[in-house]
Every structure is written in structure tokens, then in C-alpha cells.
Structure 1
Amino acid sequence: MKIERIDNGIYVIDDFLTESEEVAINLLLKGAVWRYNWPNYEELPFVRPCWHVFIAGKGRPERQSCLEELNGNESWRFLVSFWERFSDLHDFNMTLLGVYANGQTFGQDTIIHRDNKTHPGLTVIVFCNEHWPTSWGGELVFYDDAKENVIKAVLPKSRRVVVFEGRIPHAARSPSVKRRKPVL
């Protein structure tokens, strides 16, 4: 496992997700658990929905921790140990507000957005794709405050974790290939 601070408070940790966690996540995300649409929090005149699986975080609007909710979810309870391991990794002062899975398909970029507009907070993204050649794209792209310049792009990589200040504008790019079989 290697933790690397890249730029502007963006951290990349390779091989942090264990192989057994990756297998468990992929098993739980296979099947008819995905819904297509993501709430439009920014109240934009257009919608750019993505595939989404809600796991925990009902108290997010009130900024309540969802750790107890996650621990009460038998299927996803194993992520509590991931969170504890992550919390011990660095002196990040944080509360787990939400756990969910997002996915993009070919031609479906997300809008440039901020996860935390008004409150400081970290975003933790886990890439749980078992196989993802770099030629497939799907980068997590970070922008400057004006959303005019790319400051960093991080490729999906099996078991990679990306941590960043949620106020940093970012977007997920769509895969550059069409596949008959979905890949997480």
C-alpha cells in the first residue's frame, strides 16, 4: 500500500482496498441493484444522471454519521472495517456521511461539481473494478476553482482509493469503450 499526496490536497492510495473487500463489493453490486438517476442537488437546467446504488447515509442532510446505519446493514457491514482502517491511516478528522456506488457508461460523463459546497469535508472514492485497462478511460478529473482548467486526472485502478477535499470541482469521465458485459 502506498499513499501519495499528488496536488492540491488530492491523495491517491493504491492497493488500500483488500482483495476480499473488492470481491465482496463486486458481488453485491452485480444484479438489479442499480438505479438510473442521481438527485440534482445543484438545481441545474439540465440533468446528467448516472447509475447509482445507495448503501448508507440517510442522515446526510443533517450531517449525521452513517457508521451505525452501515454497521446495521448485514450485507455491507464489512465496510465498517474499511472505514476504521482508513481512519487510522492518517490524521483526517472526519465523519462518515454517506456510502454509495456510482457508475458511468459509455458516453455518460458527469457534470463538474463539488461534493461539499458549504461545509468542509473529504470525499473518499474507491475504485473496485477488477479489470480496467487504462485505454478504457473513465478518469476522475479535478478542476481549478473557476472550473476552467484541469489540475489533475486519476485513472481507475483496481483497489485504488482517492481522497480529496470535497470543495474541489471534479467529474467522472465516461468509459471510452462500449462493452457488452458491464464492468465495475
Structure 2
Amino acid sequence: MSLGAEDIKIYDGTISTELGAQLSSLAKKPIWQYGWRSNVQNDNYFFWHSHFAGGDTSSETDSAAVLSDRQGLQSVSSLWLEIEAMIGSPQKLLRAYANGHTYGTEGYSHTDSNREDNLSSIYFAHDDWQQDWGAELLFYGEGREIIKSVAPLPGRIVIFPGCILHRASSPSRICPTLRVSFVFKSAPK
């Protein structure tokens, strides 16, 4: 089976205003550490990161209960439950975290999984985003051509098979804010 742009799902306006405000507030707290890389073997440069729950890339343990028990992360747990409902089938939450990008901290092309049934779900938690700020989420096909570009609009959710090659492009020089994405990696139960 060949995966393509049609396998990348975008949802706008599905999260309540109250939950969106809670997630935005969390993203403004001192939760960030600098020095994260999507792939430690290949990435030379770093970006901001905050780990919420789950193990490393080889972990198959369901971390949903751990996330729901973490103090101060109830909004992240609520977001996960809403995303799982959007997926439409029971999921094991393998990892939950947030990434932050500023000008010059673009991501590298990578896959999150080698399995077509493992999903990556991204929620953009910043309050505002303007077209000239860039930082699109780019997806690549088999020929390494861009098959889909997704603007990081506030409150947008993107769900896709983690085996699709993708990367976060850098915010532009004129972007005055942190590009915030809450990320959930999951597998079928």
C-alpha cells in the first residue's frame, strides 16, 4: 500500500475554546528544554522540547494512564482523548510531548515509525499565526517531492501515518513567537 497526501488528515475548529486556552497557557510556562533532535544519528541542530509521557522510539507501552496522572497536564490528557476519538479506533499512546521552534530551528526530514498503522498526531498550540511566518509542516512522497504542506494554524490538528517522511520548516525571521506543536505517537490497541 502506498501512502500519500490523502492519508494526512487535517482538523480545524474541533477543540473547545477553553481547552485551547489551557493548552496555550501550558505552552507559555517554563516547560521547555533546548537540545532536542528528531533523529540523534542524523540531526546536527537542536530545537525546544518538553516530554510529557511515554518511552523511547522502541516503546510499545500505553502511556495514556501515566499522562492522565501527571500533575499540570490534564489539558494534554484531554487533548489526547479528543484526538483518539477523531482517529476512531482505540489507540495505545506511545509518547506525548511538545516541540517548539523559533527562527533558525527547523526540523530535519524524518519518519516517526516504520509501520503504516502507527499514527502521529500534532496539535498547534500557539495563539496566533500569520502566513508570512512560515514554519509549515512538510510531507514528502516516495520521490522526495513535497506532497502536502500544512500551515501551523492555531488549534489545527494533523493526523498521519508516522511512516510518511515529514519535517517542520523554520519560522521566518519576522516571526515573533514560538511555533508550538503538541505531538502524540500512537499504535492500534
Length-normalised TM-score, structure 1: 0.85
Q: What residue in structure 2 maps to residue 161 of structure 1?
A: 157
Q: Deviations over 1:89-131 (max 9, x none)?
A: 3434521111111011112211100011357400000011111
Alpha-carbon contact 1:115-1:167 (below 8 Å) kept:
yes
Please say which of residues 101-110 and 87-96 is displaced more in the overlay: 87-96
User: Once the two structures are aligned, what percentage of the paired residues are identical?
Assistant: 27
Structure 1 counterpart of 2:16, one-letter code: T
Closer/same/farther in 2, CA of residues 181 and 57 from structure 1, 3 Å limit: same
Structure that is richer in strand per residue: 2
Out of 144, 147, 151, which is 2:147 matched to? 151
Closer/same/farther in 2, CA of residues 42 and 119 from structure 1, 3 Å limit: farther
Corresponding residue SS for 1:24: helix
Q: Give the Cα–Cα distance (whole angstroms) in 2 for the partners of residues 69 and 85 of structure 1.
A: 17
| Structure 1 residues not aligned, in runs of 5+ | 1-5
Q: Deviations over 1:65-104 (max 9, x none)?
A: 1101111112112333322232223434521111111011
Corresponding residue SS for 2:19: helix
| C-alpha RMSD of the superposition | 2.3
Closer/same/farther in 2, CA of residues 43 and 59 from structure 1, 3 Å limit: closer
Closer/same/farther in 2, CA of residues 161 and 30 from structure 1, 3 Å limit: same
Q: What residue in structure 2 maps to residue 3 of structure 1?
A: none
Closer/same/farther in 2, CA of residues 56 and 90 from structure 1, 3 Å limit: closer
Length-normalised TM-score, structure 2: 0.83
2:130 is aligned with 1:136: no
Corresponding residue SS for 1:62: coil
Q: What residue in structure 2 maps to residue 87 of structure 1?
A: 84
Shift of 1:158: 1.1
2:172 is aligned with 1:176: yes
Structure 1 counterpart of 2:54, one-letter code: G
Q: Give the Cα–Cα distance (whole angstroms) in 2 for the partners of residues 126 and 74 of structure 1.
A: 20
Corresponding residue SS for 1:129: coil
Closer/same/farther in 2, CA of residues 119 and 69 from structure 1, 3 Å limit: farther
Out of 27, 30, 33, which is 1:32 matched to? 30
2:69 is aligned with 1:72: yes
Q: What residue in structure 1 maps to residue 51 of structure 2?
A: 54
Alpha-carbon contact 1:94-1:121 (below 8 Å) kept:
no
Closer/same/farther in 2, CA of residues 70 and 137 from structure 1, 3 Å limit: same
Closer/same/farther in 2, CA of residues 59 and 36 from structure 1, 3 Å limit: closer
Q: Give the Cα–Cα distance (whole angstroms) in 1 for the partners of residues 58 and 116 of structure 2.
A: 11
